[in-house]
Amino acid sequence: MKKSLTRVVSWGHELLAEVVSPDDLVVDLTAGNGYDALFLARLVADSGQVVAFDIQPAALKNAQRRLQENGFFPRLHCDERKALLLREVGIDLVLAGHESLADFLPAPPQAVLANLGYLPGGDPLLITRRESTLQALLQASQLLKAGGRMVVVVYVGHPGGEEEGQAVQRFFSTLDNDRFQVLQLTVANRPQAPYLLVAEKIC
């Protein structure tokens, strides 16, 4: 079945699928309702690890439910203390801001994925913020394995989205071109449409 040309989330998934193997460690910076975590869990199969972050308990519960409905049984980490996770097969859902990424990850990730904005079906005033998002992306870029990719879907149609998007664009555009290849995919005739930023770490 043909996919819509402008579904940037699907393009992001495809670009991650090219570089992820079954036993890799992969990260979802914005667990939300669990769609990305489920996609990543299927990529790493029964021998890899998914670590997904969200600051909303409701989001983690939604993600947990979606994963369980699809045959995955994640571990919930709802303790507010920051603690390094074990490197073990399975899925870890972490109640923490994605800016705490480096405090939890047990190894360098092969892939990092984020859908910015707010939780679909949740409070639209609870959004990802420029400052914490930039902290998370900086840590992710430093931790990412060579050959790995970082994929971010930016939404600009809500208050604060455009400012966050501009900051994220600047971050990607200033990544060292000797160490990263960077792609931006936009819907040219729809300025309010989500767009995609991808960075592949060369070395």
At 82 the pLDDT is 78
Beta bridge partners of 152: 114, 197
In percent, how much of the chain has pLDDT > 90? 82
Can you list the domains of the chain with their CATH numbers? 8-201 (3.40.50.150)
For 130: left if phi > 0, alpha if psi spans -120 to 50, otherwise beta; the answer is: alpha
Query: pLDDT grade, residue 155 (50/70/90)?
Result: very high
Mean pLDDT over 74-103 rounds to 92
At 29 the pLDDT is 98
At 158 the pLDDT is 83
For the beta carbon of residue 163, count every other beta carbon within 10 angstroms.
12
Among 63, 160, 144, CA closest to 107: 144
Predicted confidence (pLDDT) per residue in 160-169, tens digit: 889 999 999 9
Compute CA distances 116 → 54, 129, 134, whole Å: 11, 9, 11
Predicted confidence (pLDDT) per residue in 73-86, tens digit: 999 999 767 789 99
In sequence order, which ranges of the chain are alpha helices (DSSP H)?
A: 8-17, 35-44, 57-69, 101-104, 130-143, 161-173
At 45 the pLDDT is 87
Mean pLDDT over 17-34 rounds to 97
Q: Is residue 144's pLDDT more than 80?
A: yes
Compute CA distances 145 → 65, 141, 150, 180, whole Å: 30, 9, 10, 11
Q: Are 199 and 189 in contact (CB under 8 A)?
A: no
Q: Are 6 and 187 in contact (CB under 8 A)?
A: yes
Taking the model in full, what pTM does it have?
Answer: 0.94
Q: Is residue 20's pLDDT more than 90?
A: yes
Q: Is residue 119's pLDDT more than 80?
A: no
Query: pLDDT grade, residue 103 (50/70/90)?
Result: very high
At 202 the pLDDT is 97
| H or E stretch covering 175 | none
Q: Is residue 125's pLDDT more than 80?
A: no
Q: Is 53 buried (19+), middle (13-18) or exposed (0-12) by CB count in 10 A?
A: buried
